[in-house]
């Protein structure tokens, strides 16, 4: 008869080792590449899947939750770990409540927690980008990651403006007031951030207009600041 206690003792260190590798990975420069592909999916692929109804609300939520889960392990500072863990757990609880018998009345609270989580995630990744004054290819991926994260944060802000003021952006199709509107918000956020301004979707109130201008300003200044910092760090 096999010794079950011995098997359990063997399994525990193995699980601990895998977990340690996973958590340590997000503090390395190599993690920037994986995060880059996650964000490419989130910003450029997920909106297409939502638009053509190839993915439901639960899978959309799972994608964002995985992104925020990685943010917990992106810092060694206890205060930031506690903060990101708390925000992540709040989002999990709110999403479980919202997909249960209690419907979308918690959606605005969930968005606010998501906005706070995204803001912290941007700060954490920005700090990782310039740690040790080192410049390599991974840091370039990290710089792009922060840029894409700002686009997602912009989408959160436009959606919150729409919820609290009744309008924010207007375009080719009516908004549903759920996460299925993400393609419209992230598209307009990216268009504002990159200062392209196609005009097919427009901001319709002063708060949304001024935030769009703010994103455009950040979109112009961010590359200049990051390039200057990376160049000075390489000397």
Domain range list for the chain: 29-233
The mean of the pLDDT values for the chain is 86
Q: How far apart are CA 116 and CA 80, in angstroms?
A: 12
Residue 160 has pLDDT above 60, yes or no: yes
**Tokens 């209690």 appear where?**
102
pLDDT tens per residue, range 43-72: 999 999 998 888 877 888 888 999 999 888
Whole-number percent of the chain with pLDDT over 70: 90
Q: How far apart are CA 232 and CA 235, in angstroms?
A: 6
pLDDT, position 147: 95
Residue 7 has pLDDT above 60, yes or no: no
Provide the pLDDT confidence category of residue 24 given band limits of 50, 70 and 90: confident
Residue 9 has pLDDT above 80, yes or no: no
DSSP bridge partners of 203: 169
DSSP label at 195?
T
Q: Any idea which of 99-103, 128-132, 165-169 has the lowest mean pLDDT?
A: 99-103
Tokens of 162: 């729409």
Q: How far apart are CA 95 and CA 107, in angstroms?
A: 8
pLDDT, position 1: 47
**Tokens 């939750």 appear where?**
65
Residue 137 has pLDDT above 80, yes or no: yes
Cβ atoms of residues 115 and 157 within 8 Å: yes
Q: Give Cα 34 distance to the centre of its chain.
A: 13
pLDDT, position 235: 60
Residue 163 has pLDDT above 60, yes or no: yes
Helix (H, G, I), strand (E, B) or coil at 202: strand
Provide the pLDDT confidence category of residue 180 given band limits of 50, 70 and 90: confident
Q: How far apart are CA 15 and CA 93, in angstroms?
A: 26
DSSP label at 42?
I
Provide the pLDDT confidence category of residue 158 given band limits of 50, 70 and 90: very high
């Amino acid at each position: 008869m096999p010794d079950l206690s011995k098997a359990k003792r063997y399994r525990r260190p193995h699980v601990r080792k895998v977990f340690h590798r996973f958590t340590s990975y997000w503090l390395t420069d190599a993690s920037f590449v994986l995060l880059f592909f996650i964000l490419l999916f989130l910003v450029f692929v997920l909106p297409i899947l939502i638009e053509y109804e190839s993915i439901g609300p639960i899978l959309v939520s799972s994608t964002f939750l995985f992104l925020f889960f990685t943010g917990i392990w992106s810092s060694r500072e206890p205060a930031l770990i506690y903060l990101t863990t708390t925000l992540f757990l709040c989002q999990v609880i709110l999403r479980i409540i919202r997909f249960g018998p209690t419907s979308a009345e918690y959606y605005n609270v969930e968005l606010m927690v998501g906005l706070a989580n995204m803001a912290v995630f941007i700060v954490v990744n920005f700090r990782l980008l310039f740690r040790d004054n080192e410049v390599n290819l991974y840091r370039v991926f990290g710089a792009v990651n922060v840029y894409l994260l700002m686009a997602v944060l912009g989408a959160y802000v436009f959606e919150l403006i729409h919820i609290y003021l009744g309008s924010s952006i207007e375009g080719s199709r009516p908004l549903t007031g759920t996460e299925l509107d993400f393609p419209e918000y992230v598209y307009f956020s990216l268009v504002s951030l990159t200062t392209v301004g196609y005009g097919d979707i427009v901001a319709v109130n002063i708060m949304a207009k001024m935030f769009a201008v703010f994103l455009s300003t950040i979109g112009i200044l961010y590359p200049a600041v990051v390039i200057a910092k990376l160049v000075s760090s390489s000397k």
